[in-house]
């Protein structure tokens, strides 16, 4: 991600629960992983470089209100937030490719699934469609 993208971006957060002004973390969002996606999350965590935030401990943000829905975030309450700390960006299409493989009833998975996980963490655009950028931070402020 380029510096000007960070400086010129507004970030949005979707939540099922009403949140109050101030700092939020993943724990505040009450968003468990759907059991159908445990294998996807396990693979991504195994492939996660040490310098990247764990998906299980981060706050996911979008760069537009429209993207909140594209990312599968709840839309009951949408907030404009200020990220705290480093901002990581990945194309959600990599996650979708991996999730599609793990939710199919098959015994063997295609070669390259581990590479898709590496591409996700590297921030590369997926070749499948226009990128759907998700942003990960350790915490954020609701202003």
Q: 30-51: per-residue pLDDT in tens?
A: 666 777 788 899 999 999 999 9
Task: Show Cβ contacts of residue 125 under 8 Å, excluding neighbours closer than 6 positions.
Answer: 91, 93, 131
Cβ(101)–Cβ(39) below 8 Å: no
pTM: 0.86
Report the C-alpha gap between 54 and 77 in whole angstroms.
Answer: 24
Average pLDDT, the chain: 87
Provide, rounded to the nearest whole percent, the portion of the chain with pLDDT above 70: 88
> How does pLDDT run across 3-30, given as a tens digit for each residue?
545 555 789 999 988 888 998 887 676 6
């Amino acid at each position: 991600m380029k510096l000007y993208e960070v400086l010129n971006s507004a970030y949005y957060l979707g939540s099922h629960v009403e949140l109050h002004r101030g700092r939020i973390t993943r724990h505040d969002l009450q968003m468990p992983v759907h059991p159908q996606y445990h294998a996807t999350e396990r693979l991504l965590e195994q492939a996660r470089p040490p310098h990247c935030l764990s998906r299980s401990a981060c706050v996911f943000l979008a760069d537009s209100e429209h993207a909140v829905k594209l990312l599968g975030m709840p839309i009951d309450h949408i907030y404009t937030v200020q990220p705290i700390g480093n901002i990581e960006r990945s194309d959600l299409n990599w996650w979708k490719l991996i999730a599609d493989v793990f939710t199919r009833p098959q015994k063997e998975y295609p070669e390259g699934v581990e590479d898709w996980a590496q591409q996700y963490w590297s921030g590369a655009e997926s070749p499948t469609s226009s990128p759907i950028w998700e942003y990960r931070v350790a915490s954020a402020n609701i202003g």
